[in-house]
Amino acid sequence: MHCNADWTVSNLNSNEYVDGFTRGNIDDYAFSQNTTFQYIHYRFTIPNQDMRFKISGNYVVLIYEDNRVDDPVATACFSIVEPKVEIDARVRANTDIELSGRYQQLDIEVNLANYVVQDPASEVKLVVRQNNRFDNEVANITPTFFNAGKLSFVNNKALIFEGGNEYRHFDISSFYAAGEGVDRIIFNRKYYEAFLKEDLMQKSRTYISQPDANGRFIINFQEAFQDVQTEADYVQVHFSLLSEQPFFDGQVFIGGDYNYNLLDDTARMQYDFDAQRYTKTFLLKQGGYSYQYWFLLKGKISASAGKIEGSFWQTKNEYTIYFYHRAWGERYDRLIGYSVID
């Protein structure tokens, strides 16, 4: 499905955005080998000889069984860009809120060159995401000014983000030795369990620079013979965040690309009053993972890392910028600019 800039379904017929078939079978698959959890690894690549895209923009692929289109087992979201403009951006610590404190502010310039935009205030849409998160995404920003073929988004408080902290990480690539961030790995006669080291609150600590992956993960099995994708096992991974008492004004979540940074029941932690900690268990495939703890205040939709992880202007965050254009009379949002900065 083709989608607008806000991921609502666009008002286009499939033959307007796809050349070929809009449906196809996933025939490339392999069974797991020598794993405690039996699974099937599927692979599907687009575009392919049967399906090619005609236009830029946002797309959603639905994966379903037995023609049950209304009951998908998974979805995949991605964007296709037609590079028509250049995006220049910088991150600064001196924000319109405070100087070199807890926040980072973006200044963005879009060089249109020879690309024509008649009415920038109504035709263009700028979307900015921090570390691939949707909950604190910034959209629908009006350009500060337009001059000499450039759109400027500067000194805009909407482009101020919490700095947060570097991501935590752990490695479960091997069962023979506990990797980084792992306290112990056990086999409980059915499957493997990994108990991560106890995590502490970091909000009162000073910033420490360290390499991180901003929520990304990689599948890896150190003892694999041929194919990591089918030989890596699934592991019950136990997280624990020490806290003398629960937060009564909100909830705690674990964020990372492996759960699409969603703030739902799959990522929500539970407080254990006896152990005085928040806990959560994920079923994850072997590899290396980065993650953070986020606090969601009651009634809000955007989570904060600062209450648990601390927030610092020095944090090496990654910002992804999407620039869409819909000229007068057009029926969809074209993605004509894309840039990633840190």
Rounded Cα distance between 202 and 165, Å, is 9
Residue 46 neighbours by CB distance under 10 Å = 14
Strand 150-153 to strand 103-111: parallel, antiparallel, or no bridges (unpaired)?
A: antiparallel
Query: First-to-last CA distance in the chain?
Result: 31
Say if residue 47 is preceded by a cis peptide, omega within 30 of 0. Answer: yes
The CA–CA distances, whole Å, from 182 to 50, 195, 196, 264 equal 45, 6, 4, 25
CATH hierarchy code of domain 86-163+318-341: 2.60.40
User: What is the DSSP secondary-structure string of 200-264?
Assistant: ---TTSPP------TT-EEE--TT-SS-HHHHPPEEEEEEEEE-SS--SSEEEEEE-GGGTT--S
| pLDDT given for residue 166 in this prediction | 97
Strand 234-242 to strand 192-196: parallel, antiparallel, or no bridges (unpaired)?
A: parallel
The segment(s) of the chain belonging to CATH 2.60.40 are 86-163+318-341
Point out the residues of the chain with pLDDT beneath 50: none
Strand 18-20 to strand 51-53: parallel, antiparallel, or no bridges (unpaired)?
A: antiparallel
Rounded Cα distance between 163 and 153, Å, is 19
User: What is the DSSP secondary-structure string of 154-194?
Assistant: -S-GGGEEE---PPEEEE-S-SSS--TTEEEEEE-SSSEEE
Rounded Cα distance between 56 and 10, Å, is 12
Q: Report H helices in the chain.
A: 14-17, 120-123, 228-231, 306-309
Q: Which of 23, 20, 58, 13 lies closest to 44 in space, CA to CA?
A: 23
Give the rounded distance of the alpha carbon of 146 from its chain centre. 31
With H, G, I as helix, E, B as strand and everything else as coil, classify residue 217.
strand
The secondary structure of residue 329, as a DSSP letter, is T
Classify residue 285 as exposed, middle or buried by CB count within 10 Å of its CB (0-12, 13-18, 19+).
Answer: buried
Residue 85 neighbours by CB distance under 10 Å = 22
Rounded Cα distance between 167 and 317, Å, is 10
Sheet arrangement for strand 234-242 = 182-187, 192-196, 234-242, 277-285, 270-272
On the CB side of 151, how many CA atoms lie within 13 Å of its CA? 25
For 210-262, what is each residue's pLDDT tens digit?
A: 889 999 999 999 999 999 999 999 999 999 999 999 999 999 999 999 999 99
